[in-house]
Amino acid sequence: MDSSHLEMTSWAALPLLSTSTTNVRRPKLTFDDSVHNADYYMQEAKKLKHKADALRCRGLCSLSIEFEMTFETALEKFEKFGKAVNYADAALSFTECGNAMERDPLEAKSPYTMYSETVELLRYAMRLKNFASPLASDGDKKLAVLCYRCLSLLYLRMFKLKKDHAMKYSRSLMEYFKQNASKVAQIPSPWVGNGKNTPSPVSLNNVSPINAMGNCNNGPVTIPQRIHHMAASHVNITSNVLRGYEHWDMADKLTRENKEFFGDLDTLMGPLTQHSSMTNLVRYVRQGLCWLRIDAHLL
């Protein structure tokens, strides 16, 4: 199994390796290099998601009335954090599933669709904890960084999967606008003259909106449905790049607030870059989630 995945109830028994060869004193997960098919990772992801869906804090004794409200608030925060961590872990298995789909072209489902659905799960996990709140804990912010790294690389991967389509749309759109640019240039404009008839600032003020529109265009511009569809698809694909860089920058910003944690993670796992593989992403984030579980006593 590629990511040392175990049942959530057995995290306490997770095999750990000594980290005495580094300055990192935190435990290290063991990872299996075995490669599985997409269905295997899909089943693992579903198990984790179902566990996150059903997660409740159990085994807690009753408290006195004066502490009841405080306890309920703390319990809710604890539960939401645990659910968010588990949803993020499930997203990692869905990411592995998408990666396996890329390896096997015979898979019925598109890896792009799988990554897109994984993005939505990560977004849901992040909504459970308001890391931007002044009351957000260090754990909340660390989890946000890990989720942002995932989102960034997933968006960039989604763009790469559709890059050929984007290039094709781009060429078609450029050709269309190039061909129609000459038609637009032939339309008289009040802003361009032959020198003698160039309108003065005073005369420009006397040009009514209706006349200006009449001079510039005789009516609304009609764009063929095919061009409209290509433009929309092009924007949809290329926006993945913008989102990828945006989330990476947000992760960098939050990382500066927890330099020691992510410094240890980089030392142990190797730093993530925007060119990291899906496998490296999964291992890096899963190791980070393990430490978050330990710090939050979720094991």
Question: Between these two residues, 177 and 271, which has the higher pLDDT value?
Answer: 271
pLDDT at 131 over 80: yes
Banded pLDDT at 122 (limits 50, 70, 90): very high
243 residue type, one letter: R
Question: Between these two residues, 214 and 104, which has the higher pLDDT value?
Answer: 104
Residue 98 contacts residue 136 (beta carbons within 8 Å) = no
Q: Which of the residue ranges 37-41, 93-97, 108-112 would you say has the lowest mean pLDDT?
A: 108-112
Residue 104 is predicted with a pLDDT of: 87
DSSP state of 21: T
Which of 104, 106, 107, 98 shows the shortest CA–CA distance to 160? 98
Question: Between these two residues, 79 and 239, which has the higher pLDDT value?
Answer: 239
Determine the average pLDDT of the residues in 237-261: 97
Backbone angles phi, psi at 66, to 5 degrees: -65, -20
Which of 165, 286, 291 shows the shortest CA–CA distance to 234? 165
Give the side-chain half-sphere CA count within 13 A for 197.
7
Residue 3 contacts residue 30 (beta carbons within 8 Å) = no
pLDDT at 38 over 80: yes
177-213 pLDDT, tens digit per residue, is: 898 876 655 555 444 455 555 555 444 444 444 444 4
pLDDT at 291 over 60: yes
Residue 22 is predicted with a pLDDT of: 63
Site of tokens 């606008």: 177
Residue 191 is predicted with a pLDDT of: 46
